[in-house]
Amino acid sequence: MPILKKLVAIFSLFLLSGSFFFISQGAGKDGDKYYQKLYFLSHRPFPYENLVRDVDYLCSSSFEGRKAGSEAMKTLSSELADRFEKIGLESEIQEFALSDGSSGRNVLGRLEGSSGKWIVLAAYYDGLGTHGEQTYPGADANASSVALLLELARRMAGEKELRDGLLFVALDAHYESCKGAHALLEMIGRQNVKLFVNLEQMGNSLVPVDKRRPHYLMALGAERYSGELKACARLGRIEMYYEYYRSESFTNMFYRKIGDHTVFLKAGIPSIFFTAGITEHTNKSSDLPQNLDYLALYERGLCLERWLRLICLR
C-alpha cells in the first residue's frame, strides 16, 4: 500500500478512537573547548534498561490507563514529582480544572539557566483510561515519550553551565483538548519561553518514512536546527525528516492543528514536534510495551540528548 494511503487509513482509525560532533558556525572563542566537552559527554552510557522499566511502570494496571483526573493519576503525578526531586530538579505539580470537575496535574522539573528564558521539553502522560473491561495502556502514546523525558532529565540534571533553563514537563489532559498545555502556558507566560519541544509516540518504528531506514525521527518545525540535528542524528544512527512522511498536507495537520505544541505555536512561541508517527496501535488496547522498538527509542534519546546540550550549554 502506498505510504500516503496507509497513513490515511491509520489516521482515520486514530480519529475514530479518540563519530564527532558537528561544529556549527558562531561557536565563539571557546568553541573548541565546548565541543570537546560535548564529544566526551556524548560517550556516556545511555541506560537502555531505564526506558524499558519506565514504560512498563507507566503502563502498569495500577494506573488504569492513566485517565486524566483519576485517583491513579493523582498517585502517578506525585511519583513523577518525586523522580524529578531525586535527580536534583526543582519539582512542582500544577493543578488545573477539568471539564468533569476533577483536577488535572502537570508535573514540572526545573533546571535553571542564566538567561532567564526556558526551553520547555514536554510529553503528555495521560491516556484513555479504562472503558468497560478494556484498558488502554498507551505504551507508545505516550509512555514511550515520558520514559524518554525522564531519562533526558536525569542525564541533564547535573549541568551547571546552562544558558537557557530547561523545564521538563509531564503534561496532563492531552485528551481533553490539551488543557494541560493551556494551563502551563498561562502559568509560565509566553515571554519566558524561548522554545517549546513536544515529544509524542517516540517508541515505534512500524511505519518508517523509508523502509531502508527503519530508525528515523520526524522533527516538525525544526528546520532552524537542521545542522545540529543532522550531526546528532548521525551519532544516534537515525534518519531525520522535517516533514510528516514527506507530505505537506500531513505536516500542516500534525504540526499546526494537532498536539500540545499547537498551544504554544499559536501563542507565537517557536515550537518543535518530535515524533515517530501514529501506527495501527495508536489509541487502541493493543498499544502495548511489547510492540515498541526500544532500540529506536534509545537511539532517538541519544540524538535528543546531544541536541539539548548543543542548544543549552553554549
Q: At what angle do helices 31-41 and 294-312 cross, to 10 degrees?
A: 160
pLDDT category at 193 given cuts 50, 70, 90 is: very high
Q: What is the DSSP string of 38-86?
A: HHHHTTS---HHHHHHHHHHHTSGGGTT-BTTSHHHHHHHHHHHHHHHH
CATH number at residue 143: 3.40.630.10
- Kindly compute the dihedral angle of the four CA atoms of residues 77, 81, 86, 90, in this order, to the nearest 10 degrees: 170
Range of the domain at 13: 3-312
* 31, pLDDT greater than 60: no
Strands in 90-97's sheet, in edge-to-edge order, are 90-97, 103-111, 165-171, 118-124, 193-200, 271-275, 216-220, 239-241
More confident residue, 69 or 22: 69
Residues in Cβ contact with 129 at an 8 Å cutoff, skipping those fewer than 6 apart = 64, 65, 66, 67, 70, 135, 136
User: Please, what's the b/e burial string for 32-62 (b: 16 or more CB within 10 A of its CB; e: otherwise)?
Assistant: eebbeebeeebeeebeeebbbebbebbbeee
Residue 215 is given by DSSP the state: S
Q: 76 with 125: CB under 8 angstroms?
A: yes
Give the other-Cβ count within 10 Å of 144's Cβ.
32
Diameter of the chain measured on Cα atoms: 62
How many structural domains comprise the chain? Answer: 1
Give the model's pLDDT for residue 25.
Answer: 35
pLDDT digits (tens, 9 = 90+) for 241-250: 999 999 999 9
Report the predicted TM-score, pTM, of the whole model to 2 decimal places: 0.87
pLDDT digits (tens, 9 = 90+) for 73-121: 999 999 999 999 999 999 999 999 999 999 999 999 999 999 999 999 9
Strand 134-135 to strand 130-131: parallel, antiparallel, or no bridges (unpaired)?
antiparallel
Whole-number Å distance between alpha carbons of 23 and 231: 9
Give the model's pLDDT for residue 26.
Answer: 35
pLDDT digits (tens, 9 = 90+) for 136-156: 999 999 999 999 999 999 999
Q: Which residue has the cell 493523582?
A: 74
Name the β-bridge partners of 247: 244
Give the model's pLDDT for residue 46.
Answer: 62
Burial of 272 (0-12, 13-18, 19+ CB in 10 A): buried
